[in-house]
């Protein structure tokens, strides 16, 4: 989800469970989407990307789903581990040209033992 002001949405899951983080985007012209992970004190780290001509893409333990009809993006993390605790951002590239990425506000994923 998206946050307003100081409050990031928080998702708390048990270690070993699957996590699903959601993101809504607003620009139907966006054609490239990326999920980033940001740990405390570090820069955002690339996780996985997807282009608008795809609905699903899988990586190692992660899957990104894109629903262009409702402009929704999700990140699924399988068998979450303590190291998955971080803030997760979705980002979109608008217009398909040489633009910088536009980031969502982020979701804080907390892994409980």
DSSP code per residue over 3-45: -BTTB--EEEEETTS-EEEEEE---TTEEEEEEEEE-TTS--E
Toward another protein, which CB reaches closer, 68 or 105? Answer: 105
CB-CB contact of 71 with 25 (8 Å): yes
Q: How far is CA 37 from the centre of its chain?
A: 8
Toward another protein, which CB reaches closer, 83 or 100? Answer: 100
Q: What count of other Cβ atoms lies within 10 Å of the Cβ of residue 44?
A: 19
Provide the minimum distance between the beta carbon of 42 and another protein in the complex, in angstroms, as a whole number.
Answer: 6
Q: How far apart (Å, rounded) are the C-alpha atoms in residues 69 and 4? A: 24
Provide the minimum distance between the beta carbon of 25 and another protein in the complex, in angstroms, as a whole number.
Answer: 14
Provide the minimum distance between the beta carbon of 26 and another protein in the complex, in angstroms, as a whole number.
Answer: 14
Provide the minimum distance between the beta carbon of 72 and another protein in the complex, in angstroms, as a whole number.
Answer: 19
Residues that bind another protein (CB under 8 A): 5-6, 32, 34, 36, 41-46, 49, 51, 89, 93, 96-106
Toward another protein, which CB reaches closer, 6 or 70? Answer: 6
């Amino acid at each position: 989800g998206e946050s307003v002001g100081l409050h990031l949405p928080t998702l708390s899951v048990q270690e070993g469970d699957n996590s699903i983080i959601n993101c809504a985007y607003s620009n139907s012209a966006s054609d490239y989407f990326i999920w980033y992970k940001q740990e405390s004190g570090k820069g955002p780290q690339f996780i996985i990307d997807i282009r608008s001509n795809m609905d699903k893409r899988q990586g190692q333990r992660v899957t990104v789903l894109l629903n262009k009809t409702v402009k929704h993006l999700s990140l699924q993390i399988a068998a979450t581990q303590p190291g998955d605790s971080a803030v997760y951002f979705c980002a979109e590239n608008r217009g398909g040209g040489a633009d910088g990425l536009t980031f969502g506000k982020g979701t804080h994923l907390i892994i409980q033992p």
